[in-house]
Each structure stands twice: as structure tokens, then as C-alpha cells.
Amino acid sequence: MNPDVYRVIVFNAARDGNLRRLRIFLEDRSDEWLHHCISSEEFQTPPLVIAARNGHLDVVKYLLEKGADISATGTVIFDGEIIPRAPVLWVAAAAGHIDVVRYLVEEAGADINQTTQSNSSPLRGACYDGHYDIVHYLVKKGADVELANRHGHTPLMIASFKMRADIVYLLLKHGADPCRPSLRGNTAMHDAAEAGSNEIVCMLLKAGAKNVKDGCNMTPMECGALAGHEDVLQSLSAVATAQEIRDALKLYGATLVDKKMDLSNAIRVWFEAVNYGEPLRVRTALHVYDDLFEIDTADDVRRVIGNPDAIRMQALIMRERIIGGDHHETHYFIRYRGAVYCDLGETNRCFQLWLHALDLQQKHLCALHPSTVSTIGAFIDTFILTVNEGIIIANVDGVRVTPVSRKYLMDVLDKTVFELERFNSSGMKIKTDEIFEEPGDNIRCSNFLMLASLQLILLVGISYFVVKAYNVFQIRRLSHNDSKLTVNLETDTDEKDFDIALSNIVTRLIQVSKCLNLYPLHAACHDIDKPLTTRFPCACVITMLIDNGIDVNTKNSLGNTPLHTVLLSNNPRQSVIKLLLQNGATLLARNKENDTCLELISETLPRAFRLLKLGRYLTLMGLAANAVRRNWLKTVYKKIVPKELFAFLDLY
């Protein structure tokens, strides 16, 4: 009898703790049969692991008696997180089943330090959810209190972050190092300060922990300030320098402004901050922050009282200087403040802040970082909304919404293409296990950025006509003696410079797409059900790509040319088909399904077959190439035809 047939039944019985059912299927079986039935393939979960996960001690004992491997590992889920290659002891410890843990260690001989795929030990698993009795037992039995996971994160660090004060005390008592850094340089003190456990912070200080910087140049005091824990700052001030206290208090004030919306307390904290350390030797004012200098004296603080906008800008200025332009919180709050301005109708202010965030991300983060891609996505969504409003919305007085500036559209388009260029030119490709959830995410991100570039090109074209319509509207208002209105008129020289700049960016997009095996013309021809302002196929985008040198006969991974893409869509547009044909698209090009464009037109658009006058697009060379490919084997004609024609013949 095939044991594989019973695997699911045995697994379900072990999962549910149904020992009686297990006995029915496993009694009086050969050792070989049992081995096949109660073991599992890689990345699956054997019955022993799931029984330990659910705390079924009697089932665990029975399976081990039947020869189950005590060192077996399986995939389990804790708090929604998938844990691959988790050992039996680890799942029992992490789930809090002390009776199962005792049996596995004392009678089954489980390795007390056997780790998961991410190198997490049973002790660390027990620390995560605060199973004190299991932690105490494992430490007593000799578990390694310093065994860290693949990120260098120790049991003491996770206990500190999860605010398990009793476990932290126990680990310190058994020799855990409070000063040990992870691979990124953070210590248990960083975790405790960020979590906001002043009790653990004091405990770690007593054990000898210091206010040292991590790999992101952040001290525990700054971590506490970012998270908004004032009591933690007070405790850590005992081991911090005056300058560190000054910066931490400034940072805490910024947190009060942006996270807690408490401007009055932020002012109080900033008054306290300037009493420590020394003022900055050099202060720089950035236009994006309203050309303000960072407050550094009591007089500076007094000057911003009563000015909420200035206070909010100060929070952004301080955060960027203290924790750096590479920190995710710097980017997040710049974007957050921009979004608030956008909601208030101040879109230009929003775009200025977001562009600054995008500059910082492209300067400090790796190419295609999710944060950078997210910022570009936010721009696209907001641009679409703003352009739509510029087209269709008028208020009760009949005044049109001011259209989005083409300058911002061009700036974001330039940075989107630049992000693709960064990815293409980076010597070391992205470490997908550190940045992305799945290995294919970098491909999806690059495709997203290519599509974003095409949408921006389309929006640039639309905005031109929106601006023209807006100017006409304003001129009519001016004719009625409304001197307050202004008109955004552009000279022919401005238009020429703009066209050249746009053409250069599109050329760069074509070049980098070719290097990354992206297909922008196919995307521009693909039928996408989007809002009207970003709907494809789009003739103006297709024309822009063709005018800047894209090959209209490039084939994608399916062997489809752009013309194939149009014809295979739900509603092929004759105008787009004609545009491609007029620019050299090959009617007899053949995809991997052996379909030519001519055949697809005949099938999908029988009425338009004559109207398109396809005969004018057929060439003698194309007919000859089609005949060669249809009638000759590739190995035969390649011996006769010149090499220069191979690429041309591959179209057919």
C-alpha cells in the first residue's frame, strides 16, 4: 500500500491531536513505510512538527516511537509570518508548550540550539512571545544565550524590543551581553529605547549598556526620541553627552510635531534642548523648507511661536540633519507633510517636498528600493488626480482649477528614467532577500517604472492642452478688468527648449529599456483600463517613442511585435494600427504562436481589412522573407542567406 496516499490523513490527525486515528493508520507498518509516510519534502511540514506546534504531547511521543526524525524541520506560521525549516523544538518553544519542550529535551534528545532557516534558536523563539517558563528552562539546560539569527539579532535584543522585562533580567543574569551589536550595529538598548520600555532601559544601563551609535548612525537616545518616549530620554541622558542630549531633544520635539500634533510641547522641548551643548557651527537653509535656518537658540524658538507652518518645517529640518537623508523616517515625514499640503489644495508645495524626498532616496538608497518606487507611484496618482481636475472640474464661480505645472511632470519623468538607469548601471544587483519580499520584485518594479514613465509622457502631452485652455480662460477674465489674475504664457523659445528636453528623456528611456529587456512601445500599445488621462494605447506616446528612434518591429518574450500587441487586445484601434504601419510595422511579422499581423487583422477586424489598404504596407522583401521562413528550415537558409539579413528574417 502506497504510504504517500496516507500522508494528508496522517498530517491532519497529527495537527488535530487525534491519536486514535493515527494509530489506525500507523500501527503494524514496516519501518520503510512509516519513514515515507511521516517524513516530508523540503519546505513542507512533517506531522511531528505540526503536532509540536499545536502542543499535542501524546501525538509527539507516539510519532517519535514510530521513528519520526527529532531533527526534522518544517514550514509553520506564527503571527501571520511564514517560518521555513523550523525544528520541532523551536515550534514547541515559540508556541509556549512547556510540556512538549521538556519531553523533547529530556527524553527525545532534541538539539537545544537547532535553528530555523533564518538561524533563529528555540530560545529566541520563546523570547519573542514572552514564554518565561520556557526561556528559564532552556537557559537552565544550557541553551546559548548569545546565539543570534542571520541578522545578528540575539534573544536579549528581541526580548528588549518586545518589552519582556522579566526575560531581559533572566538573560542578563545568565551572561547575555548588553553591548553586543547586530550586523547593522544596533544593540538591545536601541530596541528597548525604540519600544519605549524605560524599565528595560534602566536594567540594561545597570548591566553596562552604552548610548552608542548603530550602523545608521543612530544612538538609543535618538531612537527613543524618534518614537516619542520622553521617560527613556531622561534615563539615557545619564550616559549621553550634552551635544547628544541637545540633538535628541530636538528630535523629540520634531516627533511631537509630526506624530502627536503637539506643537506647544514641541516648543517647550526645543527651549530645553538649546540649553545643552553648543550651537551648530554652520547652518544651511534649503528652499524646499521655506529657506528657514534650523532653530539653535532661545531667540530662534521664540520667533517660530505662533507660526505653525514654520514649526512644521523646523521638524523636517531637524530630522533630516540629525538622523540623515538616508533614514526612512526622514523620507516618510517629508512625504507626509507634502500629502497634508496636497489635501489643503497646495499641490505645488506638495510636489516640492516630494521631489526633495525623491532626491534623498535616489542619493542614499539602492536602485529600485521600494521606498523610491512608492514615492514615484504617489506622484503618478496625484498627477492623474490633478490633471483630471484641471480638465473637468470648475467651482461654483466657474473658475477652473490651476493646472499642474509641466515642470513637475518633467522633473518626475526625468527621475523615473534615472531610477531605471541607476538599476541598469549598478555593479551589484539588488539583494532580493534584504529588500524585496519575492525574488521577482525587482522585475516588477522596473516594469512599473517603465509604465510610470509612459504615463508621465502622456500627462505631459495632456497638460500642454490643459494649460492652453486655462490661459484662454484667464485672458477672458482679464478682459473683464480683473487685475488679480495672471496668465502662464510660454514663448516659442520655451516650447522649443521643452520639446528638446522631453525628447532627450524619451531617448534615454528607450536606451535603458533596451538594456533591461523592457518593451515601452508594447506597453504604449497595450489596452489598459485606466482613468482617461492614463489610458493606453495612446497615439501621442507611440509617436513620441517612434520619433525618438524606437524599433517598431521589436519582439517581446512572446514573439509579439507592438502591432501584434494592438491586434491581440480586446478592442483593437484602427488609428493605432495605421500609425504603426505608417512607421514601418511589418504586416507579416510572426509571433511564437505562428500568427502574423496580417492574419490577425483578417480575423479580428474583417470590416477594416479593406479600409486599411494593407497592400501599400506589403513589400517584396517582406514577402520573400515570409516565403523563406515558411518553406525552409532555419539551418538550411542560414547557410545561404547573408548574416546581415538574419535579424530581418527572424521577424517572419
In a domain, 284, yes or no: yes
Question: What's the CA gap between 295 and 606, in Å, rounded?
Answer: 73
Residues 102, 76: one domain? yes
What global pTM score does this model have? 0.86
* Alpha carbon 273 to chain centroid, angstroms: 36
Residues 396, 542: one domain? yes
Q: What is the pLDDT of residue 77?
A: 92
Residues 388, 431: one domain? yes
In a domain, 85, yes or no: yes
Query: Count of alpha carbons within 13 Å of 117, Cβ hemisphere only?
Result: 11
Q: What is the CATH number of the domain that holds 42?
A: 1.25.40.20
Q: Which three cell numbers stand for residue 384?
A: 492623474
Q: Which tops the pLDDT comparison, 478 or 273?
A: 273
* Contact by Cβ (8 Å): 311, 257: yes
Domain final residue, candidates 144, 172, 191: 144
Express each pLDDT in 363-396 by its tens digit.
Answer: 999 999 999 999 999 999 999 888 777 555 544 4
How many structural domains does the chain have? 3
Q: Which three cell numbers stand for residue 461?
A: 502631452
Question: What's the CA gap between 75 and 81, in Å, rounded?
Answer: 10
Residue 478, classed as helix, strand or coil, is helix
Q: Which phi and psi angles does 592 have, rounded to 5°?
A: -70, -15
* Contact by Cβ (8 Å): 627, 615: no
Q: What is the pLDDT of residue 338?
A: 97
* Contact by Cβ (8 Å): 596, 590: yes
Express each pLDDT in 186-225 by its tens digit.
Answer: 999 999 999 999 999 999 999 999 999 999 899 999 999 9
Residues 404, 356: one domain? no
* Contact by Cβ (8 Å): 33, 10: no
Residue 401, classed as helix, strand or coil, is coil
In a domain, 592, yes or no: no
Burial tier of 372 (Cβ tally within 10 Å: 0-12, 13-18, 19+): buried
Domain final residue, candidates 514, 529, 550: 550
Express each pLDDT in 141-183 by its tens digit.
Answer: 999 999 999 999 999 999 999 999 999 999 999 999 999 999 9
Of 111-125, 212-226, 227-241, 579-593, the one with minimum mean pLDDT is 579-593
Give the pairing of strands 73-78 and 81-87: antiparallel
In a domain, 618, yes or no: no
Of 349-358, 452-461, 575-584, 608-617, the one with minimum mean pLDDT is 608-617
Q: Which three cell numbers stand for residue 444?
A: 516588477
Between helices 57-65 and 19-26, what is the axis angle to 10°?
10
State the pLDDT confidence band at 481, using cuts at 50, 70 and 90: low
The secondary structure of 287-309 as a DSSP string is GGGTTBPPP-SHHHHHHHTT-HH
N-term to C-term CA, the chain? 55
Domain final residue, candidates 550, 573, 594: 550
* Contact by Cβ (8 Å): 550, 525: no
Residues 354, 463: one domain? no
Residues 382, 513: one domain? yes
Residues 374, 512: one domain? yes
Mean pLDDT of the chain: 87
Express each pLDDT in 419-428 by its tens digit.
Answer: 999 999 974 4
Residues 312, 399: one domain? no
Domain of 98, in residue numbers: 1-144
* Contact by Cβ (8 Å): 151, 131: no
Q: Which three cell numbers stand for residue 337?
A: 507633510
In a domain, 375, yes or no: yes
In a domain, 203, yes or no: no
Q: Which three cell numbers stand for residue 538?
A: 495612446
Express each pLDDT in 296-322 by its tens digit.
Answer: 999 999 999 999 999 999 999 999 999
* Contact by Cβ (8 Å): 226, 194: yes
Residues 6+ apart with CB under 8 A from 296: 274, 279, 280, 283
Question: What's the CA gap between 187 and 220, in Å, rounded?
Answer: 8
In a domain, 626, yes or no: no
Residues 400, 344: one domain? no
Q: What is the pLDDT of residue 623?
A: 76
Residues 352, 370: one domain? no
Question: What's the CA gap between 404 and 412, in Å, rounded?
Answer: 13
Residues 403, 299: one domain? no
Residues 509-528, mean pLDDT to the nearest whole number: 92
Residues 461, 516: one domain? yes
String of b and e for 294-304 (b: at least 16 CB within 10 Å)? Answer: bbbeeebbeeb
